Every structure is written in C-alpha cells, then in structure tokens.
A and B are shown apart, each in its own frame.
Chain A
Amino acid sequence: MVDLRVKIGNLDLKNPVMTASGTFGYGLEFEDFFDLNRLGGFVVKGTTLHARQGNPYPRMAETPSGMLNAVGLQNGGVKHFADNIYPKLVKFQTNILVNVSGSTVEEYVECAELINELEHIPGIELNISCPNVKEGGMTFGTSCPSAEAVVRAVRQVYNKHLMVKLSPNVTAIDEIARAVEAVGADSVSLINTLLAMAIDAEKRKPLLSTITGGLSGPAVKPVALRMVWQVAQAVKIPVVGMGGIMNAADAIEFILAGASAVQVGTAGFIDPLAPVKIVDGIEDYLKRHKIESVTDLIGSLQM
C-alpha cells in the first residue's frame, strides 16, 4: 500500500488532488460523475460579499491547447452561499475551501468573517489574482504592499487555514509569495490564469466581450511549473500547484517541483473524471517507483 496523504499546514488531505476554483462550481455539479469524497479537497467558485452578474457574453474563447475565460466572478454572494449551498456541502468528508474575492480590502474581510462561521469549511483561498474584474482581484496580487495589506487584514478576522492564490501576471512571483507568507498566509496556491487575448482576424474583433481574459489549460503548464518551482524555493509554507494539469504525470511534475498538493481545473471541462483519474494515476506512479509516501516526492526534483 502506498500512502497518498499530505498535509497543507493544518489541513489533512487524503490525497494531494484538489479541484480548482471556478472550474468546479460548488462541487455538486460533479456528483453525477464521481464521489467527491475521493478528492483531497475542492475549492468552490469565487465568492464575493455581494452577488455579481459577471461579464457579458462572449466570455470564452478556445485557443491552442487551452482556453480564455472572462467570467468575472459571477456568483450569488456569500450570504447566498452560506444559506443555500453550504447546507448541501456539509455531508462531504473532504476539505472544502471557499475562494474569496473582493473589490476592496473591506469586502474581502467581511466575506472572510462570514465564512469563518461555517464549521465545515476548514479554509479559504484568498483570490488576489482574478484577471477579469475591473476593481480588486488581480490588482491586489500584483504588488507586494497591496498583497500584504489584504492578507494582513483578512488574517486578523480569519482563524482557519488561509491559502492565498497568486497571480502569474507579475515580474517576480516569489517576492509576492514571501510577502504574503510574512503577514500570515498558511499556504499559497498558484497559478491563476495568465492575462491573455484572442482576436478574430476575419471580423477584426476581439473574441471576448472584455477584450482580455485569463488563459488556462496545457498551454500554461510550463509557465506554471516554473513559478511553482521558484515559489517553493522562496517560502517555507506549503505550495499548492496548478496550471494545465490534465493527467497524473502533470500532477507528479508539480509535486516534484515543490507542490505539496495540486489543483485540477480546466481538465475537468474536457474530462469530468480527470480529477479522480489523477488520484489513481498518482497511486500507480508511487507503486511503479516503489515510493511509500507521496510526501517523499514533494520537491524531490533531482538536479
């Protein structure tokens, strides 16, 4: 038997596979496909203090080996989540994190405070990296002072696991990671989508209503791997890796680069079973390489 369990700070995961916010709805949408308890955890969609309608259609464009999205944090607001969604999630025996976003520091704080009251939510993923909103989102995550300010403020009111989701749209992601570690982040997850663009040459128009959007899928994986490796060198807190993970081999690469766990996102659109196939594939890899525990693999890249 191989041991798939990992720890991310005070979170115990039965395996290192989570699903990424914005690609997994509230989890319930996947219940027809597989047992959500098979996951190490899942992160429910970006939640804000107030309900948001998101951006106008079209919000999506297919690009080589990937896609752009510009959803813009469409969600019913934190009260809707707490009253209508949370009661349906308490039955699951896995780590359910809520991705929290906002336009101002005060909104992040108020949203986190409300989620702090929800017993079966052991942590939040602070989204300081959404590229698709006009105010807040990525603007917090692209400079050290603003990233520190929002993480410090949320840390004051939130006493469970605080994961901070980092933006790749920066000059030095390791500096941002160090900055949020210093003000109390329990872990970092990366990468959010890469700010990108697609154009219809025949119509001479952008493909997205917002002109720019976030790139995800296998196209971003080499960038994500590099950033996970850099950040893992820079911080002591656990790193959760994501960006174009389609199969177990991709997930192993992130773990070798220093990720204690991974998040599977866009792959779930292509194959709803991808998250559980990745769990099985990591187990097979460990058996094949005669490695007892997946923790032995974390950051074990040989150079």
Chain B
Amino acid sequence: MNKTVQNLRVLSNIQLNRDHHLLELQAPVKLEQIAPGQFVNVRVDKSQSTFLRRPFSIYDVNYEKNTISLFIKDVGPGSHVLTSTPEDEEVDVVFPLGNGFSFPKNNERVLLVGGGFGIAPLLFFAKELKKRNLTAEIHSLVGARTADDLMQLDSFSLYGQVYTTSEDGTHGVKGRVTDHPVLRDNLQDFDRVYTCGPEPMMKAVAAKAAAADVFCEVSLENMMACGFGVCLCCVTDTTSGHQCVCTDGPVFNIKDLKW
C-alpha cells in the first residue's frame, strides 16, 4: 500500500518478558497488502530527548481486524514510550516503509536466522510464505543470550523445524547462531537464508552464506530520521554507492553490500 501517516489505536499491549512487548495497533483505514520486511516509523516525541520517530519491523498484519503488530524490546526512552502506551491510546505511525524480503521459488528450502528482537520480520515472513502456499520448506534458527529471551518459538514451529542457541546454554545449542550445526555445517542444504538481528550476527551469518554460495538477504536497522528517503541519514555502503536503508532496504542481498 502507499505510504501514509495515521493515528493507530493500541488494541493490546502485552508484556512478554521483562523487556519485550507485543503491541497490536488498529488502523482507521483499510490495510492493503504489506510485505514482510517492511517497517513502520512511530512518533515518540513526548519528551525533548526523543525528538525523532523510531523505526520498528512489522511483526504481523491482520487484514480482517485491520491491525499491525509490533514486537518491541524496551531498549531506551524511545521504545519505552511505546511499551508504556496503554490500550485504547493512539500512536502516530508512518507506514508501510521500505521493501520486503524477496519470496523464494517453489520447492526452495529456506532458513530463517533471527537474533533477539530481530525475529519480528522473520515470523511475519514465515506466515506469508505459508499463506501463499509456497511449498518451500522453512527452517528457523533463533538465538538469544538466555532461554528467557528466546521468544515466540511456538509460532515459528507452526511453519517448520525450529533450532535454538543460547549464549549461556539454557536452551538449545550453547553459543551463538553461527555455532549451531545447521549454520556451521549444513548450510548447503538450503537454497536461501534470511536473517535479522544484531549487525555482528548478521555479518557472521552473511559470511557463512557467502562461503557456501547460498542466497542470503539481511534486514538492516541503521539510525534514520525520516524513514522515506529524504534525510539521507541511514545510508549503508553498497556496490552502487551509498544507499538508504529506509528506501533501498531495509532488506538487502548480501551480494550488494560491502561487508
């Protein structure tokens, strides 16, 4: 759908663990097709220290209820404005922004690699893959610091095999996602890898994918002011020069990035 700025009503704000929230926001307009990987830019300027909007990946879209869900980690004053917004209040949102993940071809085997709250766009992507009846096999590898931070595993398991890693060994393989055999040894089994999470993790995943010559897309999260390509602040280095993460991304094929 076209970019729009709307007041969305908080339908629910559920705290998932000590610092993660799931917000469901209802739009006053009929939502048209939104692609997994697209994002929203939310106004949080309730204090002078949070002047700019904050971008968040879209976690889910419900076209019947006309809602957009966001999976938010309370990491600072900006995200805190959102995690502390009660039900029925409105938030000012610019959406949908950026480009989504590219869809695999039939029968391709897909590996989703999520770290921390980077799982947000991947779960939406998995759901859309299933909905579109792309017969691709979906495997998900989710990593976090500790078992408590590994969230929404049940949702991932709706779409296929789920693997986990935790840095403290409290869930799945001890270590980081790149320590998991599926990424370390068996990447050749997959046709496509999609990843979202902290940049060092994505870079490590991208390096594995490049070494195995497997298609890989990453979802970047640079600091931005506008979200729609006019401030030119969120650039990343690509083979065709500086490109905006907001409008040329946030999803990039690793072949186009100078990583």
A→B interface (CB under 8 Å): 22-25, 29-30, 32-33, 45, 53-54, 56-67, 69, 71, 74, 217-218, 266, 268-273
State the CA gap A266–B247 with chains docked (Å).
18
On whether the beta carbons of A33 and B222 are closer than 8 Å, the reply is no
On whether the beta carbons of A33 and B4 are closer than 8 Å, the reply is yes
Question: What are 12 residue pairs bridging A and B, where the CB atoms are less than 8 Å apart in the complex?
Answer: A22-B231, A22-B232, A29-B228, A32-B4, A57-B234, A57-B235, A60-B234, A61-B223, A63-B51, A74-B232, A270-B45, A272-B228
Specify which of A59, A63, A64, A66 lies most central, judged by the most chain B CB atoms within 10 Å of its CB. A59
Nearest-CB distance from A214 to chain B (Å)? 12
On whether the beta carbons of B232 and A54 are closer than 8 Å, the reply is yes
On whether the beta carbons of B235 and A64 are closer than 8 Å, the reply is no
B→A interface (CB under 8 Å): 2-5, 43, 45, 48-53, 92, 94, 222-226, 228-237, 241-242, 247
List the 4 closest A-B pairs by CB distance, nearest first: A60-B233, A25-B230, A32-B3, A269-B225
Residues in A neighbouring B51, C-beta threshold 8 A: 62-67, 217-218, 270
Nearest-CB distance from B57 to chain A (Å)? 20
Given A74-B242, A271-B5, A69:B45 Cβ within 8 A:
no
On whether the beta carbons of A33 and B5 are closer than 8 Å, the reply is yes
Residues in B neighbouring A62, C-beta threshold 8 A: 49-52, 223
> Of the candidates A22, A25, A65, A71, which one forms a contact with B229 in the assembled complex, judged by CB atoms under 8 Å apart?
A25
Residues in B neighbouring A218, C-beta threshold 8 A: 51
Residues in A neighbouring B228, C-beta threshold 8 A: 29, 272
On whether the beta carbons of A23 and B43 are closer than 8 Å, the reply is no
Using CB atoms, name the residue of chain A closest to B49. A64
On whether the beta carbons of B223 and A58 are closer than 8 Å, the reply is yes
Nearest-CB distance from A215 to chain B (Å)? 11
On whether the beta carbons of A71 and B5 are closer than 8 Å, the reply is no
Residues in B neighbouring A269, C-beta threshold 8 A: 52-53, 225-226, 230-231
> Of the candidates B43, B52, B235, which one forms a contact with A67 in the assembled complex, judged by CB atoms under 8 Å apart?
B52
> Of the candidates B43, B223, B234, B236, which one forms a contact with A270 in the assembled complex, judged by CB atoms under 8 Å apart?
B43
Residues in A neighbouring B233, C-beta threshold 8 A: 58-60, 69, 71
Residues in B neighbouring A58, C-beta threshold 8 A: 222-223, 233
> Of the candidates B4, B49, B222, which one forms a contact with A57 in the assembled complex, judged by CB atoms under 8 Å apart?
B222
State the CA gap A57–B3 with chains docked (Å).
25
Residues in B neighbouring A54, C-beta threshold 8 A: 232, 235, 242
On whether the beta carbons of B242 and A272 are closer than 8 Å, the reply is no
On whether the beta carbons of A29 and B229 are closer than 8 Å, the reply is yes
Given contacts A63-B51, A217-B51, 10 further A-B contacts (CB under 8 A): A22-B232, A24-B230, A33-B3, A33-B5, A53-B242, A62-B50, A74-B242, A218-B51, A270-B51, A272-B94
Using CB atoms, name the residue of chain B closest to A60. B233
Nearest-CB distance from A25 to chain B (Å)? 4
Specify which of B49, B222, B225, B232 lies most central, judged by the most chain A CB atoms within 10 Å of its CB. B232
> Of the candidates B48, B94, B231, B234, which one forms a contact with A23 in the assembled complex, judged by CB atoms under 8 Å apart?
B231
Residues in B neighbouring A30, C-beta threshold 8 A: 230
Nearest-CB distance from A176 to chain B (Å)? 27
Residues in A neighbouring B226, C-beta threshold 8 A: 23, 268-269, 272
On whether the beta carbons of B225 and A60 are closer than 8 Å, the reply is yes
State the CA gap A115–B151 with chains docked (Å).
56
Residues in A neighbouring B4, C-beta threshold 8 A: 32-33
Specify which of A60, A66, A217 lies most central, judged by the most chain B CB atoms within 10 Å of its CB. A60
Using CB atoms, name the residue of chain B closest to A25. B230
Nearest-CB distance from A174 to chain B (Å)? 30
State the CA gap A32–B94 with chains docked (Å).
11
Residues in A neighbouring B235, C-beta threshold 8 A: 54, 57, 59, 74
Specify which of A59, A62, A269 lies most central, judged by the most chain B CB atoms within 10 Å of its CB. A269
On whether the beta carbons of A71 and B232 are closer than 8 Å, the reply is yes
State the CA gap A15–B113 with chains docked (Å).
52
Residues in A neighbouring B241, C-beta threshold 8 A: 53
State the CA gap A115–B200 with chains docked (Å).
45
State the CA gap A74–B229 with chains docked (Å).
12
On whether the beta carbons of B53 and A270 are closer than 8 Å, the reply is yes
Residues in A neighbouring B94, C-beta threshold 8 A: 272
State the CA gap A33–B41 with chains docked (Å).
14
Residues in B neighbouring A217, C-beta threshold 8 A: 51
State the CA gap A66–B49 with chains docked (Å).
8
State the CA gap A62–B43 with chains docked (Å).
14
State the CA gap A45–B49 with chains docked (Å).
27
On whether the beta carbons of A60 and B231 are closer than 8 Å, the reply is yes
On whether the beta carbons of A60 and B224 are closer than 8 Å, the reply is yes
Residues in A neighbouring B50, C-beta threshold 8 A: 62
State the CA gap A266–B236 with chains docked (Å).
22
Residues in B neighbouring A270, C-beta threshold 8 A: 43, 45, 51-53
Nearest-CB distance from A194 to chain B (Å)? 15
Residues in A neighbouring B236, C-beta threshold 8 A: 57
Using CB atoms, name the residue of chain A closest to B4. A32
Nearest-CB distance from B248 to chain A (Å)? 13
